[in-house]
Amino acid sequence: MGALGGLAAAVGHLAQPMSLFNVAWATLLGMAVGMLPGLTATLGIALLTTLTFRMAPGDAILILICMYVGAIYGGSRTAILLNIPGTPANAASALDGFPLARAGRAGEAMGLATFGSFFGGLVGTLMLALIAPQLAEFGLRFQSFEFFWLAIFGVVISGRLTAMHDPIKGWIAGFLGLLLAQVGQEGIHAYQRFAYGSVDLAGGLGLLPALVGAFGFAEILCVMKQPAYETVRDMGGRVLPRMRDIAARWWTIGRSGVLGTSMGIIPGVGEDMGAWVSYAAARRASASPETFGQGNTEGLIASETGNNAAVPGAIIPVLTLAVPGSAPAAVLLAAMFIHGVRPGPLIMIENPGFVFEVAAMLFWASVGILALGLVLTKPMLVVLRVSREHLMPIIFVLCVVGSFAIASRVFDVWVMLGFGILGFALRQMNYPMAPLVLGIVLGDILDKNFRRGMVLSDGSLEPFFTRPISAVLASLTIITILWGLAPVCNAIARMLGRPS
Amino acid sequence: MSDTPRADFWFSIAVTVLGVAVVAESLRMPRLENLGVHPMSAPGLTPGLIGLVLAGLGAALFLRTARVQTAATAAPAESEAGGGRRLAISMALCLIYAIVLLGWLPFWLATAVFVFAFVLTFTWQQRAAARLAATAAALAISVAAAVTLLFARFFLVHLP
């Protein structure tokens, strides 16, 4: 009752005209960002962070959360209408959404996706309010040894799950991110690493310019390299689904909500896996799995519920351990630090109401996508009629302004350009971006806690493996690595008598 | 196993070399013993560890790709060549705007010139020249004015 009461009070407290106005425009902007192929939730939050850092912290974080929720939902429109996921989190939605649109049921598909996203957000919000206080309390047992393993485990599991066919690439991306985070003045003795006399490098590589480059400039180059996508002319069918259709799928919605939130909690995995796991579970549970991929409404609802439920899920470790559950959540974490909020295990002691405030923001953002998604379905199609030749130069101008705005350093624009070119090259070679981002965010945590742990243990590695939570995290890391090695998987498959 | 064996081969070498270089650089970093600090808090400890892992991952990728790297590479398709041209032009325009124009012209003018040039370059064959130039100019002026006013006045951020 304590958690639910706190959530209800925070929801009521946020129901102010100015807050609701911010919810409306930021969610709408997020939907537009999500709808446009090439623009992701990560880029949207990174750009808005640079633009809202002079606002009051509560307003700024509300706007960023609405952008996050709106963008993950908005990508479903593009997936349904163009068969192009607006954001990577909507790839599973295209499998059944596009066949529905081709069958003249685009309106119905968008309506179902809207309700699925709304309920996914609600389930995730509820789980956040219930789980986050418990996890924060559990996090109080973490010391340097545990945080070291948490950082390593985050990079390893993220690299494994975002590069299922080639985990080495995921791990290289993750450790590159950890390495890039070591550039600049370190946090224990203030020694300038890899600076070579440059004042700019001594200040470190800014997370936001790096993300704007990796998700903005790199996407511009990817989009311009590809053949032009078709622009939308019209859509068909009714938008508002029948309530009995929604009610008939309550079990799919509930299961996908829980699965999506759970996937979101795993560091660096995020919304994409939330959607895919929910989709796979719905298919397994279906009486007619052969219809999945051919316009099955249950598949569409499962994936959209799963990816939007993963948003609150990804924010749970942000609030309680200061470790992001996804790439957009990494930017949100950085934004919280910029605004003077210190998430982590002490959050329920230092700022106990904040967890429920964030849950209330997620609730209102979910209400925003439901209301705006249903009311503005047809007007929002205008966004998809903008050609890339007109859109991309505008996005690049925003990337330049956004990377410059935080510190007014031209160096940050160069960082953005450098990360853009690096990100583009990595994408062309099928390296995932999420582990890179997670590595950049976790680099400082890894560095400080590894060295503190080594000092505490006087150079012994024993506590890293013998303390109970450390041992669990170390075991999970090792199992994840072994699971990603083809010879090990083949040997296990042979032992179980299955074809490798 | 990989869609890009040739690129993976060269990138694996780059990652291995980077990892080894990072380890070497970490060893060169001071241990700060003269300050009386614990040797296990030396600044090079974590980068050295990361460098070792990167070198190992690069070597693993190298060993895997070295076997398939020698396979013949097909000539790029026509659409891929067109994509390469669009990519090169886009990158050139963006770099000229960010590195040259922004230091040389006021922000609003540099932005207008960049947007105009970008739109004109990529839509050149789609419409009549006069109409195209008018559309590009209208968009360029709108974007330059909107970004300058909105960001400088509403969001109160400094512009380059």
Q: What is the pLDDT of residue B81?
A: 63
Contact B41 A225 (CB under 8 A): no
Contact A450 B90 (CB under 8 A): no
Contact A450 B159 (CB under 8 A): no
Helices (H), B29-128: 45-66, 78-95, 102-104, 107-122
In this complex, which of A52, A179, A226 lies closest to B47 when CB atoms are compared?
Answer: A179
Helices (H), A140-269: 144-162, 167-180, 199-202, 207-212, 218-225, 243-247, 250-265
Q: What is the mean pLDDT of chain A?
A: 89
Q: Which of chain A's residues have a Cβ under 8 Å away from the Cβ of B2? A: 166, 430
Strands (E), A324-483: none
- Which tokens belong to A25? 């425009």
Contact B57 A408 (CB under 8 A): no
Chain B residue whose CA is closest to A445: B46
> Residue A15 — pLDDT band, cuts 50, 70, 90?
very high
Q: How far apart are CA A395 and CA A399, in angstroms?
A: 6
Q: What is the pLDDT of residue A398?
A: 87
Q: How far apart are CA A250 and CA A161, in angstroms?
A: 28
A48 belongs to a structural domain: yes
Phi-psi region of A230 (alpha: psi -120 to 50; beta: other; left: phi over 0): beta
Contact residues for A259 (Cβ-Cβ < 8 A; gap 6+): A274, A277, A278, A281, A306, A309
Chain A residue whose CA is closest to B61: A168
Q: How many Cβ atoms from other residues are within 10 Å of residue A374's Cβ?
A: 16
Q: How far apart are CA B114 and CA A138, in angstroms?
A: 52
Write out residues 360-399 of A within 8 Å (CB-CB) of B: 387, 389-390, 392-394, 396-398
A500 belongs to a structural domain: no
Chain centroid, CA A322 distance in Å: 14
Q: What is the mean pLDDT of chain B?
A: 85
Chain B residue whose CA is closest to A186: B43
A181 belongs to a structural domain: yes
- What type of residue is A288? S
What single string gives the DSSP state of each residue in A455-476?
HHTTT-SHHHHHSHHHHHHHHH
A144 belongs to a structural domain: yes
Across the strands, what pairs with A123?
none
List the single best residue of B40, B62, B139 to mutate versus A (max A Cβ within 10 A): B40
- Residue B53 scores a pLDDT above 90: yes
Q: Which whole-number Å values give the CA distances from B10 to A475, B20, B23, B56, in the listed order?
A: 33, 16, 20, 15
Chain A residue whose CA is closest to B110: A397
Average pLDDT over residues A475-486: 88
Q: What is the pLDDT of residue A237?
A: 64
- What type of residue is A290? E
List the single best residue of A386, A401, A445, A462 to mutate versus B (max B Cβ within 10 A): A401
Cβ-based burial of A391 (10 A; exposed 0-12, middle 13-18, buried ≥19): middle
Q: What is the pLDDT of residue A244?
A: 81
| Pairing state between β A184-185 and A192-193 | antiparallel
Furthest C-alpha separation in chain B: 75
- Which tokens belong to A140? 């109080």
pLDDT tens-digit readout, A55-110: 899 999 999 999 999 999 999 988 888 877 888 888 889 889 888 888 888 888 88
To the nearest whole Å, the CA of A222 is away from the closest chain B CA by: 8
pLDDT tens-digit readout, B102-141: 888 999 999 999 999 999 998 877 667 777 888 889 889 9
Q: Which of chain A's residues have a Cβ under 8 Å away from the Cβ of B40? A: 451, 454-455, 458-459
A473 belongs to a structural domain: yes
Contact B53 A175 (CB under 8 A): yes
pTM for the model: 0.85
To the nearest whole Å, the CA of B129 is away from the closest chain A CA by: 16
A92 belongs to a structural domain: yes
Q: How far apart are CA A20 and CA A28, in angstroms?
A: 12
Contact B91 A186 (CB under 8 A): no
Count how many domains chain A has.
Answer: 1
Domain that residue A332 falls in: 2-495
